Amino acid sequence: MERFNRFLYGFVGGVLFPALFLWIYLIRMYPHYESLGATLETLFPSVLLAKILLLSIFPNLLLTFVFYKTDSFKLATGILSGGMPYFIASLFML
């Protein structure tokens, strides 16, 4: 586990996991899903997209907790800082 304790690995994962979770959530739960681009265009001016973005950050928080418990602090910091753009974007949309 020590060889994966790098900030860059966590940052890339922190950017990709919320996007992946958002895509899976929209496919499974959104009733009018056509494609990712079309769905995001219909959701963009609404507060609903901000709430979905906030929901997509939760897997990052869970991974951050797990990696802090295993003493992989650089990896956890990368995951947490990779999710910050999603958090900031959702705050501006609210």
pLDDT at residue 17, as a whole number: 95
Per-residue pLDDT tens over the stretch 37-90: 999 899 888 899 999 999 999 999 999 999 999 999 999 999 999 999 999 999
Residue 56 to residue 60: CA distance in whole angstroms: 8
Place of tokens 């079309």: 38
* Residue 1 banded pLDDT, cuts 50, 70, 90: low
**Cβ partners under 8 Å of residue 71, min gap 6:** none
pLDDT at res. 60: 94
Determine the pLDDT at residue 94: 85
Cα-Cα-Cα-Cα dihedral of 43, 86, 91, 58, to 10°? 100
Count of H-run helices and E-run strands, the chain: 6, 0
Higher pLDDT, 30 or 79: 79
